[in-house]
Structure 1
Amino acid sequence: MSGLGVRDIGHRVVVRHRIPGGLTDVIGVLQAWTPDLVTVRHADSTLYEIPPADVTAAKQIPEMPLRPVDVDQLFLTAALGRPAAETAHIGQWLLRASAGWTGRANSLLPAGNPGVPVAEALNRTAAFYTDRQLVPQVQVRVGSPQDQEIRALGWVDARPGQSDVLVMHTTVDHVNGLPGYDVQLTERPNAAWYGTAFEGPVPEVAPRVLEGAAKGVFAAVVLDGAVVAVGRGSMTGHWLGVDSIRVVDGFRRRGLGTAIVQGLARWAGPHGGRRTYLEVLLENTPAMATYTRLGYQEAYRYRYLTNR
């Protein structure tokens, strides 16, 4: 076989090889190369194991360019991937409430047309949250028309001391490599998963939010009988949302977070996953570095606004 070697592992390749009745091409990431077997991982996570004797041509090819993202669509997709315990609408705008747990699950998502003047929509928003003894909040994309219009009506930063939240995206093909640890996947999390995902008591409403996605999965890495890293994945269309990643103290900086992301991406491929997003505070520099190395790039940033 010509053109490929150990140095190409992890890179995108095309391998032409013989099959009964002719030739075919496989395009994907070179997973492994030995004198006895060539393993290529397709975008849908399928592994193709090809005897070198059957290979007629093979070479490394450029990474697939990351297509521009429709930020309006992704803004809504991210909300659907982690639905709140309670929802209501003002036109197309989405009201979310979950007993105060997390900003995303307790804020207005101004996506689409509210069907009424914005000032009236915000008055209804304030009433919705006040009725539930929650602080009125709106999640806005930084610099968006909604951000500017809502600020012009007197709403201000709800968390002025906190950095923006960065929403990052990439293709599943960039992050579905073989994890360095055994990543266990389940449709429902157990007590050990929750015990690792939260440092203290689990908020009563948290399971309703985390387990509310139409298609979701929960990832865990177990070392020495203990769950030391967890994460959550959800599918919305062809998008994989990744969240709730946490590695316990004493096990950080060992690649466990990377393994969780890779395990979730490998789950998503056979379920139609082609693109993936996650959210991270700009001030969380270790996580930012990890996700950037995996190929994630900025899609947009968001903040919360309040009328108080």
Structure 2
Amino acid sequence: MSVAPLAGLALARAFLFVPADRPERHARALATGADGVIVDLEDAVAPERKTAARAQLAASFAALAPPQRARLLVRVNAAGTPWHNDDCAQAAALVAQGLIAGVVLPKAERASDLARVAQALGPTGVLVPLVESAAGLAAVDAMAAAPQVLRLAFGNLDFQADLGLACGPDEAELVPVRLALLLASRRAELPAPIDGVTPDWRDAARLAADTARARRGGFGAKLCIHPDQVAPVQAGLGPSVQELAWARRVVEAIRVSGGGVVSLDGRMVDAPVVRLAERLLALDGIPPGR
């Protein structure tokens, strides 16, 4: 599914997880300024609490303003689990009421599973497949091309566990996997993928390094597990002052030239350069050409 470049969640940088069974935290998670909030019915909720957590979502979300609801996704339980079908049915009802934007599907491994969830959600609900296994990686192109997929996301910790990896702090062993997600996103014309979590939320240096690696690797967003991670991730994945100044100059040079090819700082400014400049401005919330 091709997504408009200025769609909110398509350019979101920080996605914050919050437990589904803690409704008092849902509004607080949105108040952190996170671009997207993922209300988690999977790992964050014990099996005996999943049904009750699911049932109270509508009441929790109804108290939110429409712009807040547009930033909400629900992580359902994986296909094949006892809770998956009921989770998807409830998510479909929430989408129909305008209470959430869509669903994060964990342990995504088959495009057919995504198609079933998309059909349940209806045409307005978006999907974020979470690639967490070797099987998910093998199917990544098919899943990227599945109906209503907004972006791909990487479950780095579960992926390591699935393959029996013992990665170093820089996760150099996962470079080919991250590149595969980036390439699949590009081939499917999706926005930049979402990188996985930094598990120790107190380690600011590790978070900064992980965020810088994500940006170097072409990722446009990162999953967060604590509110304190949101602002550093947004800053680390956003354009710098220097990049924004360059992008404005590019757009202005093209405007003055009437759309033709020009030279700026000794470099030819052609269509790919203009697209990069417009993307940087879009990431900062500035409409191209302003």
**Normalised TM-score (structure 2):** 0.29
| Relative contact order higher in (CA < 8 Å, ≥ 6 apart) | 1
Whose Rg is larger? Answer: 1
Structure number with the higher strand fraction is 1
**Normalised TM-score (structure 1):** 0.28
